[in-house]
Amino acid sequence: MSALWTSAEIEAATGGKANVAFDATGVTFDSREVGPGDLFVAMPGTVHDGHSFVTQAFASGAAAAVVSQPVDGPHVLVDDVAAALTAMAITARERMKGTVLGVTGSVGKTSTKEALSAALERSRRGPVHKSVKSYNNHTGVPLSLARMPREAVYAVLEMGMNNAGEIAALTRLVRPHVAVVTSIAPAHIENLGSIESIADAKGEIFQGLEPGGTAIIPEDSRQRDRLVRAARDHAERVVTFGLSQDADVTALHAVRSDAGGYLITARLMDSELTYTLSQRGEHWVTNSLAVLAAVEAVGGDIAAAGLALADMGGLKGRGERHKIELENGEALLIDESYNANPASMAATLKSLGVEDAKRRIAVLGPMRELGEHANDLHAGLAEPVLEAKVDHLILINGDMAPLANALGEQIAIDRAATVDEATELLLAMLRDGDAVLVKASNSVGLARLVDRVTEAGVPCST
């Protein structure tokens, strides 16, 4: 592999000093991810200091490390490791001459980022870089930029936030040509106080737009006009997407396909496209429209984007589907364990409701960072649960009590204090023909339940 970074380039970017010359083919700050040729960035942390893992990184094949204290092995010595990573991010962005797309939103930003990357890759014009996992914060975004190949034709970078001002700082690093806001929902409302403040914080992404840039905004959001006002100060063009026929990019027709996804005819800014969407759930129809709006904005191949949307598989923790082999048949588990807020809970419950199943089971844990609104928003899930015709609920943690109280005796409910207890309850009740939805905020740890239950299962593409 060609060098992603040379020691001389790192010195120039950070002002640090290399003890020997070296080349690095990758960058990481997680010692568990280090592979041969990687640059290990020894980030300080509140729990662990990366310097404690430098030896482990070298044992895993690291080419060198960025450190603030001398170590045995090739390294660049800097005053501040976090600042050095940001400096490398700035340099990486400056040397990349391709098109950069930024994605944020309360719901669907990682899924949309993945779908957009796949759509651009299908054009086959050159390398497409993207944020790994959900690396979207003050350390994840600089890392994603530092990993960006200089020859990348496109880069799709995700930006998230917990507080006002955070996306403003990130977008000025990313400097997108196209900025997408997927949705506005009461995620992080504990910190921001109101849905309007959430919209303002997400709208900060437009502040980093390059001259001539495009803002892509959800037409169906109640915060649509607020986002448009924020975008007009920075964008040359504002494009809206959504199911409303007033949107610039909309679905003229969207019908469920035999495979479980959708067959969609979309009206774009300059054309129409009929395509198949492999992903299930009405929210994915909207996500796909945002993807097509972005591809069209950068002059990408719309037809190729449609093919990519047809071929997308499930995303771990975000709708990946597993067949669970049982003694007397099989069940389906839908893994939505990565994160949750009121909008995504309602959307995925709706998807469960259209599953052709003998019995529908939902394993739900609490939604975090809702503050004083938490009880009302958890209780508000009762209507989506009932509309989805859920037969049995397993609720984890006392924070789900408002939902249990709102449902009363309308549905069978089991309560579990821990993820392990919920796992045992689910394993004991699973039978042939069940469809199971698993969803909670990531900090609840429902991925452990998914791993245990799917040990004998296999991912399925339908």
DSSP label of 220 = T
Q: Is 329 in contact with 432 (CB distance < 8 Å)?
A: yes
Q: How many CA atoms within 13 Å lie on the side-chain side of 54? A: 20
Q: Is 356 in contact with 377 (CB distance < 8 Å)?
A: no
Per-residue tokens: 343:
């909008």
Alpha helices (H) in 254-390, listed in sequence order: 282-297, 302-311, 342-353, 374-379, 382-387
Pairing of strands 26-28, 23-24: unpaired
Alpha-carbon distances of 208 from 177, 253, 291, 381, rounded to whole Å: 9, 35, 20, 36
Q: How far is CA 399 from the centre of its chain?
A: 25
Binding-site annotation: residue ranges: 105-111
Q: Is 297 in contact with 216 (CB distance < 8 Å)?
A: yes
Alpha-carbon distances of 449 from 390, 434, 437, 452, rounded to whole Å: 19, 16, 12, 5
CA distance 396 to 374: 15
Tell me the chain's radius of gyration from C-alpha atoms: 23
Element (H, E) at 191: helix 189-192
Q: Is 13 in contact with 24 (CB distance < 8 Å)?
A: no
Per-residue tokens: 199:
């919209």
Binding-site annotation: residue ranges for ATP: 105-111
CA distance 116 to 289: 10
List the one residue out of 457, 402, 380 whose CA is nearest residue 426: 457
In one-letter notation, the amino acid at residue 447 is: A
Tokens 């309602």 correspond to what residue? 346
Please work out, in degrees rounded to the nearest 5, the angle formed at the alpha carbon of residue 23 by the alpha carbons of 17 and 24. Answer: 100
